Chain A
Amino acid sequence: DAGVIQSPRHEVTEMGQEVTLRCKPISGHNSLFWYRQTMMRGLELLIYFNNNVPIDDSGMPEDRFSAKMPNASFSTLKIQPSEPRDSAVYFCASSSDLGAKNIQYFGAGTRLSVL
């Protein structure tokens, strides 16, 4: 089975540019999570969706960040405009449902560098 697929794996951009990160969850999973990993703050949950609907976006740092899930097999995280402090590894994870017992499966991540 294909796991969670994220693209691109690496992104280098200049401050002020728009960045779009993409995620394809595991087929049949209906919950999707976006995380950010930095040395300073560790792993932070940014937003999660259930059945394509955003449930909690309280972790989104500011209005420059937005996420969408137009269908069950695709989600995007967009940063506009990007800033150097957005440099991090962004992970997408999916699970078969919401609920504490459901395991989250992670993608390999997108390493973003904003110059």
Chain B
Amino acid sequence: AQSVTQLGSHVSVSEGALVLLRCNYSSSVPPYLFWYVQYPNQGLQLLLKYTTGATLVKGINGFEAEFKKSETSFHLTKPSAHMSDAAEYFCAVTSYSSNTGKLIFGQGTTLQVKP
């Protein structure tokens, strides 16, 4: 069975500060990992994904995440927060062996950016 834990349901940073959103996963097989973002009253959109290869993955809007197998983590970072980054962020996992693409989502982290 697979699961995702996002540490911290709410994160608040100042504009220009580092953004760090934490995600830990559990999987008995090599995982594929995703970060999605949800802006108010919108659906989820993909920020980035890790499947195989390079463990540091770059996504849209300056976000990146690093897959660390030893720590079972896939934390999302951005060097400098912008007001437009305020949204809810979801980490999700599936497995390379999945022929369905069934995603297991974390509970989400709401990012607040203060001026």
Binding site for B on A (CB under 8 A): 3-4, 31, 42-43, 45, 48, 50, 55-56, 91, 93, 95, 97-109
CB distance from A114 to the nearest CB of B (A): 19
**Minimum CB–CB distance for B90 against chain A, Å:** 7
Interface size class of B (residues with CB under 8 A): 20 to 34
- Encode contact with A along B69-113: 1 for CB under 8 Å, 0 otherwise: 000000000000000000000100011111111110111100000
Q: Can you name the residue of chain A whose Cβ is closest to the Cβ of B49?
A: A103
B interface residues, Cβ below 8 angstroms from A = 32, 36, 41-46, 49, 51, 90, 94-103, 105-108
- Chain B interface main SS type: loop
Which residue from A31, A56, A100 sits with its C-beta under 8 Å from B94?
A100
Q: Which residue of A lies closest to B44 (CB)?
A: A106
Given contacts A100-B51, A100-B96, contact A48 B102 (CB under 8 A): yes
B105 and A43 contacting across the interface, CB-CB below 8 Å = yes
Question: Which among B45, B46, B95, B108 is the interface contact of A42 at CB below 8 angstroms?
Answer: B108
